[in-house]
Structure 1
């Protein structure tokens, strides 16, 4: 295998330390991803961002408002995903992706209670209970007695529920375009690490 030179990395390190004298390796890694990322060179699609009265794109006009831009783009991404999966959800009698996510959680958890599923999904109890009632009515999940607490009910998937998960999972694996677009493996892992970090950060504050 050809030897890869470390000189380009050293040169970037020199440039980084000039701009950020107090920065360490972690900051350098983040800076390197941002400043050498080919995604930065991607030309914006016309109409993908609204134009402000100044004539600037939204991301340029709100460059200092990082929280606002995060809300905006995460909200858009959620709407894109809902749009992509709507046909397959409708085909299986579901109103949206939340019902599939509930099924997946129940499948992977150890006979959870209704409340445990709602907490795991970080959703309001009233909304979560409505989703669970629909899944029971559709014959996708069923309630069973809790051997340790007769007052509680435990949830499991029915045979129909297992089949539905398999069919939707297969359809999702073939979904075009992919939710993560054409990001390479490194970019995907980095994005998921950031999302997991944000989830861990915000979860203690979230009281639905």
Structure 2
């Protein structure tokens, strides 16, 4: 207790030397800021210890970004294994099939907008699914230049067949998390989804610098 009192007096002496007109309230705030800074350093130190290899990040954002990218890679690895020899070859094709199933008569552009991917990528995927008999294109009655999409009977069977594989991938992705951890992760991801959807709708036709200036700086 005495040691803590002596340390506190020393900190107050240093504070007054730097801030001659400072009062006890300001001193208390400075102590709080120092504690927060120490906690941040401790957090980064703990995050660093959990990394599979040395990674000198300067912020929690950098560590999370690394893990996020790694999880994206793992997702691609597991979906490739799970969807091998299936009529739908990945989660993108499966997602398109489900969207068309629930939005019969939709256009290719509507599918692309829902997927959040480049239109050219989605259009090529749709073209492949039509060729493989999963989707069917029909001329729009009001606009003959436009094509409406419909899931074929083969596509419907394939979608329900692959649904089990998609669920298995989802189960594997959350791996060894407890039920409470899964709920917490879901809440965090839903919050991030709302943030990114807002950014997407506002900046999808803008360059990165504009987004950065308004959202990050």
**Do the two structures share a fold, i.e. TM-score over 0.5?**
yes
Indicate yes or no: 2:126 matched with 1:168. no
Task: Give the drift of 1:139.
Answer: 0.5
Indicate yes or no: 2:93 matched with 1:99. yes
| 1:83-107 Cα deviation digits (max 9, x unpaired) | 1111232212445322122212222
Alignment of 1:62-141 (within 5 A): 62-64=57-59, 66=61, 68-141=62-135
CA distance in 1, matches of 2:100, 2:185: 26
Alignment of 1:27-42 (within 5 A): none
Residues 161-170 or 87-96, more deviating:
87-96
1:176–1:198 distance in 2 versus 1, CA, 3 Å: closer
> Which of 179, 183, 187 matches 1:184?
179
Q: CA RMSD in A?
A: 2.9
Task: Give the drift of 1:199.
Answer: 2.8
Instruction: Tell me the equivalent position of 1:50.
Output: 53
Give the TM-score taking structure 2 as reference length: 0.62
| 1:138-181 Cα deviation digits (max 9, x unpaired) | 11001112222222111111111111111111123234852223
1:65–1:88 distance in 2 versus 1, CA, 3 Å: closer
Residues 165-174 or 155-164, more deviating:
165-174
Instruction: Tell me the equivalent position of 1:199.
Output: 196
Q: Is the 8 A contact 1:88 1:168 kept in 2?
A: no
CA distance in 1, matches of 2:69, 2:153: 34
1:198–1:91 distance in 2 versus 1, CA, 3 Å: farther
Gaps of 5+ in 1: 1-17, 21-34, 52-57
**Count of matched residue positions in the alignment of Structure 1 and Structure 2:** 160
| 1:85-142 Cα deviation digits (max 9, x unpaired) | 1123221244532212221222222421111111111111221111111111111001
Give the TM-score taking structure 1 as reference length: 0.65
| 1:30-85 Cα deviation digits (max 9, x unpaired) | xxxxx9xxxx89x84xxx6332xxxxxx2xx214261x434322221111111111
1:165–1:183 distance in 2 versus 1, CA, 3 Å: farther
1:187–1:149 distance in 2 versus 1, CA, 3 Å: same
Q: Is the 8 A contact 1:139 1:160 kept in 2?
A: yes
| Bigger Rg, structure 1 or 2 | 2
1:69–1:122 distance in 2 versus 1, CA, 3 Å: same
